[in-house]
Structure 1
Amino acid sequence: MNMNWAYLLGRLAIGLSFFGHGLVRLPKLAGFSNWMTGQFSKSFLPEALVLPFSYILPFAEFIAGIMIILGLFTRLGLIFAGFISLTLIFGTTAIENWDALPSQLIHIAFLAALLGLLPHNRFAVDHIIKKQQH
């Protein structure tokens, strides 16, 4: 039973991180997009790629965070968050922002651990749905 509580704690922590990132960026979406395109202006990534990503990212983080916090489609939410993190790592290395990299790698480590320990996801909407189907 202790592992189930430990899983919940880890799931809530990483879920809140993604949720919080998205939540604070959504009300200032245009400003966030301008900041991000500015950060990438001298990189090899074209603005035609960075601009739409900068508008999609806050929504993606917000949605992944909700999925993970609730434990709703947890596996999919963790994979989605992992994909988000991998794209951020790629971008971070493209602009040589080495200070941001450790935080992103910690996110990936959390997500990978939670995926590996998914059978301990007992305190989740997924578990309630599974019990009702049996």
Structure 2
Amino acid sequence: MQLAGNFKAPSVFLRIAIAASYLWASADRLGIIGAHGQPHIGWGDWQHFLDYSKQVMSFLPDALVAPLAVIATASEVIIGLMLIMGLFTRVAAVASGLLSLSFALSMAISLGINAPLNYSVFTLSAASFLLATAPYYVYSLDAMKQLPLCRRLDYYAGDHLIDIIR
């Protein structure tokens, strides 16, 4: 199997994996998937997440922690939904890379380099930036937006839209 140029399945997998990670973490901190103390629950409610955020952002004034936690959570939900739908995928992937890189650096500053490495936060950032380099995104709203253009130009060869999308 030739791997060079074969980005379709990996890009779909990256979109789903990154989106699921963001949406699951957001649901956890909002108490949607279970209460604090239950098995497989990290935070279970907003207060426990806020307490953790204060540890991670210990180098910032306390007054900034809560607003940044809200912004991070809202960003994660928005990025997660955009990636699942494949809407503005490249923008969402770059935003994900920057957001997760900021998480990784904050964790490294406050908790030591072991924390972001143990939780693969640098890996999430790198995977997000890699996703942003895909030439196009199959099974996405982005690809569906390209179809009318391809039909107007009388160009459609299966799912090989690479010449139009580049």
Q: % of aligned pairs identical?
A: 28
Alpha-carbon distance in 1 for matches of 2:97, 2:56: 21
Alpha-carbon distance in 2 for matches of 1:66, 1:133: 25
| Structure showing greater relative contact order (alpha-carbon pairs closer than 8 Å, 6 or more residues apart) | 1
* 1:40 Cα deviation from its structure 2 partner: 4.6
Q: Provide, for residues 21-52 of structure 1, a one-character-per-residue CA deviation record: whole Å limited to 9, x for no partner.
A: 12221232233113322x157x3321122221
Alpha-carbon distance in 2 for matches of 1:44, 1:3: 39
Contact kept? 2:56, 2:107, Cα under 8 Å: no
Aligned residues: 131
Q: Any unmatched runs of 5+ in structure 1?
A: none
User: Does 2:53 align with 1:36?
Assistant: yes
Contact kept? 2:136, 2:143, Cα under 8 Å: no
TM-score when scaled to structure 2?
A: 0.69
1:3 counterpart residue number: 7
Contact kept? 1:15, 1:66, Cα under 8 Å: yes
Equivalent position SS for 1:112 = helix
2:154 counterpart residue number: none
Structure 1 pair 121–31 and aligned structure 2 pair: CA distance change class (3 A)? same
1:57 counterpart residue number: 72
1:22 counterpart residue number: 26
Contact kept? 2:91, 2:132, Cα under 8 Å: no
Contact kept? 1:21, 1:62, Cα under 8 Å: no
* 1:101 Cα deviation from its structure 2 partner: 1.5
Contact kept? 1:4, 1:123, Cα under 8 Å: no
Contact kept? 1:22, 1:60, Cα under 8 Å: no
* 1:2 Cα deviation from its structure 2 partner: 5.4
RMSD of aligned alpha carbons: 2.1
TM-score when scaled to structure 1?
A: 0.84
2:133 pairs, out of 116, 127, 131, with 116
Q: Provide, for residues 29-82 of structure 1, a one-character-per-residue CA deviation record: whole Å limited to 9, x for no partner.
A: 233113322x157x3321122221122222211111111111111011111111
